[in-house]
Amino acid sequence: MTKLIFEKTKKGTSGINLTDEEINFDFINSKYINNSKETILPEISELEVMRHYKELSDKNFCIEKGFYPLGSCTMKYNPKVNEVLSALEGFCELHPLQEDEDSQGALKLMYKLQESLKTITGMDAVTLQPAAGAHGELCGMMIVKKYFETIGENRKNVIIPDSAHGTNPASAAMCGFNIVEIKSNEKGLVDIEALKSVLNENTAAIMLTNPNTLGLFEEDILEISKLVHEAGALLYYDGANMNAILGHTNPKLMGFDIVHMNLHKTFSTPHGGGGPGAGPVGVVESLKEYLPSPTIEYNGEKYIRNFDIKHSIGKMKAFYGNFSVLIRAYAYILMTGKELKDVSSNAVLNANYIMNKLKKYYFLPYDRKCMHEFVLSGEWQKEQGVNTLGIAKRLMDSNFHPPTVYFPLIVHEAIMIEPTESETKERLDEFIDTMIDIANEIKENPEEVLKHPLNTPVRKVDETLAARKPDLAYKL
């Protein structure tokens, strides 16, 4: 069991050997120094500090360590050059309160990124402020709300398919909308008749993910957008996962009015630890005046922040959003260039390759060509005594991160696999072989499979207890 660094403390040990005279804190205003209480800090040597953190990082699973097919999360390779660029002194030492004249480089980068995202999505204007996908959704829903308030229409409903990511209904509900859920049809797509039956003068928007969370492309998207627009409502595109469509199509061509993207999924920012991320939002011309302020613009001479936005929903985030994520995304887009299209072609090819190899061994509820991801069901294995959770735990002992499990909710025992474009065929084959081996192990000896994981730092945890009664505070 790893000890906490506080438990490794040996009184009087120090990692540094500066004298009191060398530690000169005179530059800090004394009112900010709290002398009232002794600060409890670990006392430990420099070498032991390094060993402690190395040990912790070794326990972590990351994309550099192995295949990470976590569906809906796009765990692709994040080129290391992005890290170097985002750490450039000129970027990271720039103070956000600096005047526009002194921040031309940073503003130019943001402007150029906005332009790139406009091209990729087909939208007419983009804000970079939101800090995550869900935050982008919130921004989008606030725009929907303000738009209908401004044109004097009182529309209360937002339609969301049952396959949607959970953040969609949450974001719409936070803006005071009623959520109207529609069931998917037998193909896993939006049921047009179900849509027609709920679409009316109370509908403010529909939130759609395309390809949807089953990895399937909405074939009827043009009819859907026509129906929604005829009802006077707006179409919101959850573009968290753009990895299937880059350069092949875009939300504007499909008829969407508002879109958010997750730079930390599609555009190669590390996001295993829960942030920071960025969820830029793009809108069509008629919604431009609703974007959060300021927007970054170019006036023909210099790059400026524009605070003069007629119906702006206000600010979504302090300053400009998570700037260092924006640098990484822009670097990735520039470095990939025209090959962004190949990113999606390869992501889709890899997903279809695995799907077709595994569908004999695991139930595939929607047997159609998939996009960047697909969803299997662990139902056959469950009948033999091992559920999807058991399969996920077993995979960990073969050094694979488990796929996303039990999502989307419309597939029983869901196993959602997204390989991304950055994997080699050899790695995909290794994963396929392991999944087949596991299916065979379950047939032969399910009890043995249920014993896993055996080699992970933490074995099986009580998930209910962890969720219901999290006890995260360490008491000395």
Among 63, 132, 206, 327, binds ligand PLP (CB under 6 A): 132
Complex with ligand PLP: residue 271 or 394, whichever CB lies closer = 271
DSSP string, 298-341: E-SSSEEEE---TT----SSSBTB-HHHHHHHHHHHHHHGGGHH
**Touching ligand PLP, residues 278-307 (CB under 6 A):** 279
The pair of three-digit structure tokens given for residue 230, joined into one six-digit string:
């005829």
For residues 190 and 180, is the Cβ–Cβ distance under 8 A?
Answer: no
Q: Which stretch binds ligand PLP (CB under 6 A): 31-39, 129-137, 247-255, 285-293?
A: 129-137
Min dist. Cβ of residue 467 to ligand PLP (A): 18
The residue behind tokens 């295949």 is 67
Min dist. Cβ of residue 279 to ligand PLP (A): 6
CA distance 286 to 252: 13
Render the burial of 118-153: b for 16+ CB within 10 Å, e for the rest: bebbbbebbbbbbbbbbbbbbbbbbbbbbbbeeeee
140 is a site residue for ligand PLP (CB under 6 A): no
**Touching ligand PLP, residues 67-106 (CB under 6 A):** 72
Number of residues in contact with ligand PLP under rule CB under 6 A = 14
Among 145, 146, 155, 165, binds ligand PLP (CB under 6 A): 165
Q: Which stretch binds ligand PLP (CB under 6 A): 235-243, 280-288, 299-307, 327-335?
A: 235-243
Among 78, 110, 111, 133, binds ligand PLP (CB under 6 A): 133
404 is a site residue for ligand PLP (CB under 6 A): no
Min dist. Cβ of residue 166 to ligand PLP (A): 8
**Touching ligand PLP, residues 47-66 (CB under 6 A):** none
For residues 329 and 322, is the Cβ–Cβ distance under 8 A?
Answer: no
327 is a site residue for ligand PLP (CB under 6 A): no
Among 218, 238, 373, 421, binds ligand PLP (CB under 6 A): 238
Site string for ligand PLP, 246-265 (x = CB under 6 A): ----------------x---
For residues 406 and 158, is the Cβ–Cβ distance under 8 A?
Answer: no
Q: How many residues does the chain have?
A: 476
Q: Which residue's Cβ lies closest to ligand PLP?
A: 133
Min dist. Cβ of residue 384 to ligand PLP (A): 31
Cα 87 to Cα 80, 82, 100, 101: the distances in Å are 11, 9, 21, 22
CA distance 225 to 159: 13
Complex with ligand PLP: residue 134 or 160, whichever CB lies closer = 134
CA distance 328 to 341: 19
343 is a site residue for ligand PLP (CB under 6 A): no
The residue behind tokens 């179900």 is 194
Min dist. Cβ of residue 157 to ligand PLP (A): 20
Complex with ligand PLP: residue 167 or 346, whichever CB lies closer = 167
237's enclosing H/E stretch is strand 234-239
Among 63, 134, 141, 343, binds ligand PLP (CB under 6 A): 134
Angle between helices 167-174 and 133-150 (to 10 degrees): 40
Min dist. Cβ of residue 136 to ligand PLP (A): 8
Closest CA to 261 of 277, 242, 236: 242
- Grouping H, G, I as helix, E, B as strand and the rest as coil, residue 296 is strand
Q: Which residues bind ligand PLP (CB under 6 A)?
A: 72, 132-134, 165, 167, 209, 213, 238, 240-241, 262, 277, 279
